[in-house]
Chain A
Amino acid sequence: MNVSPAPPPAPATIPPSGTAAPSWEDLVTHALLGTDRRPSGYGTADRPAPLALLDAAAVATVRRRAGLRPAPAARRPEPAPGDPRPALPAAAARRLALLLADRSGGTGGGRRGSAPDLTELLPQWLAAANAHGYAAPSHTLPALLDAARGRTDLRPAALAFAGPRALWLARLNPDWRFALRAAPGGGTALPGPEDGEAVRRLWQEGLFAERVALLGALRGRTPALTRDLLLSTWSTERAEDRLMFLDSLRAGLSGADEPFLEQALGDRSRNVRATAAELLAALPDSALAARMAVRAAACVALDRTGNSPAIVVEPPPECDSGMERDGVVVTPPTGRGERSWWLGQLVEAAPLGTWSRRLGGRTVPEIVALPVADGWQGELHAAWCRAAVRQKDPVWSRALLGSPSAPEAGGPGAVSLAERAKLLAALEPAERAAWVAGFIAAHGLSEAFQLLGSCAVPWAAPLGRAVVDALNIARDAGSYPWSFSGVMGLAERCLDPAETARLEALLAIPDEREDAAPGAGGYWAEAFQRLVTTLRLRAEMTAELTPAPPRPDAPPRPDASPRPVAPPRPGDQSRPGDQPPEAAG
């Protein structure tokens, strides 16, 4: 222990033995070896040696303890930076304590009963709190950091909410080092673009993470400076680093980046070349996109010889060095033909605007509706899907998705469910929700999970109604609710709390029918009960986070307010994707 013993203490109630006190080390040595083995000066005629040794040790022990004095202070840490954000309302702080307390228990397994799963609400709570810009109560920071450590999906929101003090804390505890990696610049301040000298020095001498952070920070404001920095050291960077730096150009990609990317197409590393090609292909006006358009157009043509026009496909006969330089991967994965593999890559990288011109000025829906000869439809449409996702083209996405109620939308068609979910991302939230609602109305819930996951939270009213109706139908069909546990879980998190009223009717346990699974009615009632409880809880969470109107004479505690069943204002419910501005830059 780091406490210095004081000079001989004032006599305590135990008087020190008369003679000069033996040293503590001496006492320990004698005790360790035993008084029989090591005859000592302890002991007198009427006090045997062991007891005399214990007498002396007792005096020494109490003397040492009584004489303990404070140690000199070690170097104090820098105080944590201030957090200017407003404090969390009291009710919201209590809610956070509950959500974080629940986390530690882990999922106990077994049936979930009718109680809500608080762990799943933490991401939503964090997003909402961040949208309001509240500061985290300081004593919750360790639990927040632990939560972020255990769940990478929570990290961005948890760290943004935890704020600057959490980074200060993370520097003191190796368990939380991840927070420093995630934070821009490892938590240190980055120089602004106006400080050219500091920027250049950090770029030349900084650690890899600092340099990536610097690129990210400068990219938004001064893209040209970013490119200059990259060019200044490009030839000396390691291949992995070049790849990461190149990747940082993805944000805010523009035509101005083309010369640099074009140059990177000749890079020594294959991965760097591929990434450069991918970035160039995302620029519809780039020279690479034009080259790809020419190559792709050469493979796809309109055949007017038949009764009705159709698309004929003639995949490229070889992969020449030019294609390879433009990022086409030569060797296909096992089980795929070389030529169709090359075709897929060409069509994917070609600007979608090419096709209308190439195919007789048809509109996009007309193009997608055209028959494709010789069984090439799957390959061609899949490549168009990838292109629509990559180029974020809503018109093509809409056309490729087709009608949600079309029979092939539910089964294995040219476009898989995973591709559909990606295509949906290019549509406006309302259109996306409407499409998924139509899909669920036509095909039920069994295939809907992935699609629902791509919809904005809270679900738009038509989508919510479609899901509730489909759940109701599933119940009446007599299956058990856990066949739909994925959708149920999503509904708990994503359904608009305003739907609660519509759900009340489903809480009753229906009479058991002959053909229904035994006991299913009770389980459904329980599952709906949990859904309703969770929705109420979310409404409460949202209400708690809403800043109380300033009442000079009353404490800001929305205590007596009735249960908030009314829908929250749209602005209150933030989407998980919405990143709040970093509190301290």
Chain B
Amino acid sequence: MTEQGVRWTADQVLSLAPDAASRKAGGKLGTAGPWSGAGSGEGAVWGLCKGSGSKPYQTVVDLAGGAGPACKCSCPSRKFPCKHALGLLLLWAGGDGSVPEPEQPPDWAEQWLGGRRRRAESEQAPASADTASGGADPEAARRRAERRAERVTAGATELEQRLADLLRGGLAGAEQAGYGLWDETAARMVDAQASGLAARVRELGAIPASGPGWPARLLEECALLHLLDQGWLRRADLPEALVVTVRSRLGLSATPESPPVRDRWLVLAQYDTADPKLTTRRIWVHGAESGGTRLLLSYGAAGRAPELALPVGLALDAELSAHPGAAQFRSALGERFAPPAPADFRPPGVTTAEAAARYGDALRDDPWLESVPVTLGRVTPVPDGDGWQLADADADSALPLSRAARSRPGLWRLVAVSGGAPVTVFGEHGHRGFTPLTAWPVAPGEAVPLC
């Protein structure tokens, strides 16, 4: 890994920040003042940052590692990356000569980098041996799977009963019942090891408070939950591909089975959703050769940023393995061959009509699908009453923006980049409308993250 990486932009570095406070703190440290002994080389950046104590913090960032940029800092912060790592990367991104390259890492940095890379290599080697040992006792594994299936069946049956009770008494009663009813049901589903059911049930609790039209939305979600129960209970009658989808929707973990695809993966968007227990990071990538759009997921415990972080607009030479399931976008990141580098290509765009059709088609394979990733080729953001839509530049048709997208600051970045002219927009399109995530101006220019 001696390849000299291309420097990132400040935006790309800041997109790694776990929260606004870190952005701010990192921004302040992105100047030469507090740094000494900074350098870069062999896919890593390092430096000594003067803090409040007498001993400077040792900060090193590995850009070429297998699981995204990783960093190590002797500061006590539990944020990841910490402000020192962000500041160091900003200094490096500034490219004003404060971080000379290529250089040899000093001992303290080399120690960590070397250990990390040796570990990564040794992890790859025994991976094949591990699957062999997993298959050592197929009988035990089969019994475990059977027991789990029985539990899920019991959970699905119980949930069917609860849904039937709800419909018998009427959804109007759900408004008074509040979250309590659903939380308890969700807990039962967790016991039944059906995390997919539990998550859907938990979301039902929020619908009665979601404003006008809630009964219709609640009925929709109850019906889809019922459909999932039925899919599981009658899985023997379903086509194989649909069973895989039902299993993954129920949260029965599936390991990626398909052969890894090596490609240059352009990072289209990265955003986090947080609930009290877990922060989920979604990263959409687009393959230059394969043309597919894939989703990488990374999780962090409450309040901590997920470890995987890929700045929008960079491309990654890596292998991805798709999870099973016909309408699955999710993939697992395999080996990475080079640090992320600025990309000179964009995903090809489609019209709004094609985007709508794509969602419709995807429902065929996965009726529980909320949205599909789509790149709209030439669209203009247009105000439409209280909301906004993305209108085709060359046709009289438009996709409305989702309610969530309307209240985000990214909407205004999209409108500003467009200036009333067509732009290319990547986002998620589904039954709630289109949620823009990244925009490219018509003229050559960098991707603008909207989320």
| Chain A residues proximal to chain B, CB less than 8 Å | 1-3, 9, 12-14, 24, 27-28, 31-37, 48-51, 53-55, 57-58, 60-62, 64-80, 90-91, 94-95, 97-98, 101-102, 104-105, 108, 113-116, 118, 138-142, 165, 168-169, 172-173, 529-530, 532-533, 536-537, 540, 557, 559-563
Tell whether, in the assembled complex, residue B364 and residue A66 are in contact, meaning their CB atoms are under 8 Å apart: yes
Given contacts A34-B171, A51-B164, A55-B230, 19 further A-B contacts (CB under 8 A): A1-B433, A31-B170, A32-B170, A34-B167, A34-B168, A57-B222, A58-B223, A58-B227, A60-B223, A61-B219, A71-B400, A73-B397, A75-B382, A105-B21, A139-B416, A142-B412, A165-B416, A529-B33, A561-B97
Which residues of chain A are within 8 angstroms of B172 by Cβ–Cβ distance?
32-34
- Residue of B11, B419, B421 contacting most chain A CB atoms (<10 Å): B419
Structural contact, B398 and A80, CB atoms closer than 8 A: no
Q: Which residue of B lies closest to A59 (CB)?
A: B223
Asked whether, in the complex, the Cβ of B164 is within 8 Å of the Cβ of A48, the reply is yes
B168, B384, B448: the one contacting A139 at CB < 8 Å is B448
B359, chain A: closest CB distance, angstroms: 7
Pick from A102, A114, A172: contact of B34, CB under 8 Å? A114
In the bound complex, CA of A50 to CA of B160 (Å): 10
Q: Which of B21, B97, B98, B416 has the most CB of A within 10 A?
A: B416
Q: Are B389 and A51 in contact (CB under 8 A)?
A: no
B interface residues with partner A (beta carbon < 8 Å) = 9-11, 14, 20-21, 23-24, 27-34, 50, 52, 90, 93-98, 160, 163-173, 215-216, 218-220, 222-224, 226-227, 230, 239, 242, 352-353, 355-356, 359-360, 363-365, 367, 380, 382-385, 387, 389, 391-392, 395-400, 409, 412-413, 415-417, 419-421, 430-433, 439, 441, 448
Complex-state Cα separation, A325 to B144, whole angstroms: 101
Check A9 against B360 for contact (C-beta < 8 Å): yes
Answer whether A68 and B167 are a contact pair too, CB < 8 Å, given A139-B417, A168-B419: no
Which of A77, A118, A540 touches B27 (beta carbons < 8 Å)? A118
Name the B residues within 8 Å of A562 (CB-CB).
97
Tell me if B397 and A57 are in contact (CB < 8 A): no
**A1: B residues at CB distance < 8 A:** 400, 431-433
B365 to chain A, nearest CB (A): 7
Least CB distance from A57 to B in Å reads 4
- In the complex, which residues of chain B have a beta carbon less than 8 angstroms from the beta carbon of A34? 167-173
Is the Cβ of B397 less than 8 Å from the Cβ of A28?
no
Pairwise interchain contact B10-A97, C-beta atoms closer than 8 A = yes
Inter-chain contacts of B165 with A (CB < 8 A): 50
Contacts A561-B96, A562-B97 given; indicate if A13 touches B227 (C-beta within 8 A).
no
Complex partner residue of B431 from A36, A65, A563, CB under 8 angstroms: A65
A107: min CB distance to chain B, Å: 10
By a CB distance below 8 angstroms, the chain A residues around B384 are 2, 74
Q: A71 with B164: in contact, given A9-B360, A91-B94 (CB under 8 Å)?
A: no
Chain B residue nearest to A117 in the complex (CB): B28
Tell whether, in the assembled complex, residue B363 and residue A65 are in contact, meaning their CB atoms are under 8 Å apart. Answer: yes
Instruction: Please measure, in the bound complex, the distance between the C-alpha atom of A146 and the C-alpha atom of B186, giving whole angstroms.
Output: 42
- B382 to A: closest C-beta gap in Å: 5
Give the chain A neighbours of B420 by CB distance below 8 A: 76-80, 168
B98 and A533 contact, CB distance less than 8 A:
no
B363 touches A115 (CB 8 A): no
CB distance from B29 to the nearest CB of A (A): 6
Asked if B171 and A31 make an inter-chain contact with CB atoms under 8 angstroms apart, the answer reads yes
| B14/A13 in contact, CB under 8 A | no
Contact present for A102 and B27 (CB under 8 Å): yes
19 residue pairs A–B, Cβ–Cβ below 8 Å: A1-B400, A2-B384, A14-B227, A32-B170, A34-B171, A54-B164, A64-B431, A68-B360, A71-B397, A73-B389, A74-B398, A80-B421, A94-B94, A101-B14, A138-B441, A141-B412, A168-B420, A173-B412, A559-B95
A53 and B167: CB pair below 8 A?
yes
State the majority secondary structure of interface residues on A.
helix
CA distance A573 to B204 in the complex (A): 60
Q: Is the CB of B167 within 8 A of A35?
A: yes
Q: Which of B90, B360, B395, B416 contacts A138 (CB 8 A)?
A: B416
Decide: A114 and B33 in contact? CB cutoff 8 A: yes
Q: Which of B215, B415, B417 has the most CB of A within 10 A?
A: B415
Chain B residue with Cβ nearest A77: B420
Q: How far, in angstroms, from A128 to B385 measured CA to CA in the complex?
A: 40
Max chain B CB contacts within 10 Å: which of A36, A114, A540? A114
* Closest chain A residue, CB of each to CB of B90: A98
**In the complex, A225 Cα to B190 Cα: how many Å?**
81
Measured between beta carbons, the chain A residues less than 8 angstroms from B383 are: 74, 77, 172
A48 CA to B421 CA, complexed, in Å: 55
Q: What is the chain A residue whose CB lies nearest that of B32?
A: A536
With both chains docked as a complex, state the minimum distance between the C-beta of B424 and any C-beta of chain A, in angstroms. Answer: 14
Given A3, A35, A66, A533, which contacts B433 in the complex, CB threshold below 8 Å? A3
Contact in complex: A115, B29 (CB < 8 Å): yes
A57 lies within 8 A of B219 (CB): yes
CA distance A71 to B389 in the complex (A): 9
Partner of B20, one of A78, A97, A104: A104
Q: Of A53, A54, A70, A560, which one neighbours B353 at CB under 8 angstroms?
A: A70
Q: Which 9 A-B pairs have the closest CB atoms?
A: A34-B170, A533-B33, A105-B24, A50-B167, A80-B419, A79-B420, A57-B223, A115-B28, A73-B391
Contact A31–B419 (Cβ < 8 Å)? no
Q: A34-B172, A67-B360 are in contact. Are A2 and B387 (CB under 8 A)?
A: yes
Given A69-B353, A73-B392: A102 touches B398 (CB 8 Å cut-off)? no
**In the complex, what residue of chain A is closest to B34 when comparing beta carbons?**
A114
A106 to chain B, nearest CB (A): 9
Interchain CA distance A16-B61 in the complex, whole Å: 56
Contacts of A37 in B (CB 8 A): 170
By beta carbon, the residue of chain B nearest A11 is B364
Q: CB-CB < 8 A to A141: which residues of B?
A: 412, 416
A83 to chain B, nearest CB (A): 9
Q: Which residue on chain A has the smallest CB distance to residue B14?
A: A101
**Which A residues are CB-close (under 8 A) to B415?**
169, 172
In Å, the complex CA distance between A115 and B383 comes to 42
A27 to B168, CA, bound (A): 13
A557 touching B360 by the CB < 8 A rule?
no
Which single residue of chain B is at the shortest CB-CB distance from A100?
B27
Chain B residue nearest to A87 (CB atoms) is B445
Q: Which of B222, B398, B412 contacts A169 (CB 8 A)?
A: B412
Of the candidates A61, A113, A532, A560, which one forms a contact with B224 in the assembled complex, judged by CB atoms under 8 Å apart?
A61
Q: Nearest CB to that of A106 among chain B residues? A: B24
A118 CA to B27 CA in the complex, in Å?
A: 8
Chain A residues with CB under 8 A of B365: 13
Which of A50, A54, A533, A559 is the one whose CB lies under 8 Å from B32?
A: A533
**By CB atoms of chain A within 10 A, which of B24, B95, B164, B172 has the most?**
B24
Complex CA distance for A100 and B415, rounded to whole angstroms: 19
CA A60 – CA B223 in complex, angstroms? 9
